[in-house]
Each structure stands twice: as structure tokens, then as C-alpha cells.
Amino acid sequence: MMNVNDLLIDLLEDNRRRLHRVFDAISDDCMFWKPEAEANNIAVTVWHMARIFDVFLTQQAKGDLAEEECWYQHGWAEQTGYYPRGIGQNGWGMLTGYTQEEVAAMPRLTREQVLGYSDEVYDTVKKYLKNIPLEKMQMPGAGFEGKYSHYQCIQMALLDNVRHLGEILAIKARWDRKIKQ
């Protein structure tokens, strides 16, 4: 019988598979195309998806410092020269609340960097879900002043990732129509 952790892992892995299928089907031109001037491209959106999980797991659920996020621990900040801490909503540096200038200042990540960071974050979330006791999942997370449980911190990030995958599919569909004209 599947428990809540198994269900979240199943949904996480389904979202990852769907994301990889999109990347297998798109060109780099599509990955960096913006359907309108103030829209985000697919690469930025996937980075945002990973950052949501990275921040919500590290800071909100576990209560660790930002330095413990995959972005910093796995060398992505150093590799890209991008240190987003202090930017956007609550200084989380995950795209939410960025100005257009702050989005424009982000580095242009390669396909490998986008998927590599995303996969590392998904792997970290999956490992966390495999190891956290079910009882602790219902306990308040460290962030949000204890308003949300560990489960809710992960669920919010996961639902946001699913929603953003829909946006990515919409951008791809617009790209496909554009190149057929």
C-alpha cells in the first residue's frame, strides 16, 4: 500500500519524466524563446521549478540555511557565477518577485545545466521523502513560522512544479505553431 511519501515520490518522478520528454523534443532555440517580451523562457522556468523545491525543502521544511541548498552545495552558483540569495520574494532567489532587470541578469544556462540542477534537486527531494518518518511529515516545517507541515512544504513546491510544466508545454505549443508558419 502506498503511503503519502510514496505518493509524493510517484508524482515527483512523473513530473520529472514529463519534463525530460519535453526537453527531448525541443531545440535550444525553443528552450530560450520567449513568447512575449516579459515572459520567461523554458530554461528560466525549469530553473525556477528546481529553485522552488530547493528553497522549500532546505529552508521551509528542514530549516537549514540557504547555503545548504543544492544550488550552493553542488557548485551551481560557483559554476554559473550566479548567487541569487537576497533577490525577489523574501530574498529566496527563486524568480518569484524578480523585476524584469533581475530576470535579464540571470545567466543563460545550458540544457545540461538546467536539467542537471533540476535532477539534483529532484533526487534530493526524493531522498528526503524516502528517509523522513511519516509522523514527521505531519509536523510543522521550520519555515513559514510553522504554519505548514513538512508535507505541505513539499506539496506546495510539487504542485507549483506541475503548474509550471503546463506553462512549459504551452510555450512549446506556441513555438511549434510559430515555426510552422
For the segment 110-160, what is each residue's pLDDT rounded down to a tens digit?
Answer: 999 999 999 999 999 999 999 999 999 999 999 999 999 999 999 999 999
Per-residue confidence (pLDDT) for residue 23, from 0 to 100: 96
Average pLDDT over residues 155-170: 97
The pLDDT assigned to 179 comes to 87
Residue type, 153: C
Cα angle, residue 66 at apex, residues 61 and 74 outer, rounded to 5°: 105
pLDDT bracket for residue 20 (50, 70, 90) = very high
Superfamily (CATH H level) for 4-180: dinb family like domain (1.20.120.450)
Q: Which three cell numbers stand for residue 40?
A: 520567461
pLDDT grade for 29, boundaries at 50, 70 and 90: very high
Residue 104, Cβ density class (10 Å: 0-12 exposed, 13-18 middle, ≥19 buried): exposed
- Tell me the three cell numbers of residue 119: 535532477
pLDDT for position 45: 98
Residue ranges covered by each domain of the chain: 4-180
Percent of the chain with pLDDT over 90: 96
- pLDDT for the residue 65: 94
CA gap 34, 66 in Å, rounded: 30
Q: Compute the chain's Rg from CA coordinates.
A: 16
**CA distances for 100 relative to 40, 44, 95, angstroms:** 10, 12, 10
What's at 55, amino acid-wise?
V
User: Does the structure show a pLDDT above 90 at 42?
Assistant: yes
Q: Give the HSE-up count for residue 130: Cα atoms under 13 Å, Cβ half-sphere.
A: 9
Task: Count other C-beta atoms under 10 Å from residue 79's C-beta.
Answer: 13
| DSSP string covering 131-154 | HS-HHHHTSBPSSGGG-SBHHHHH
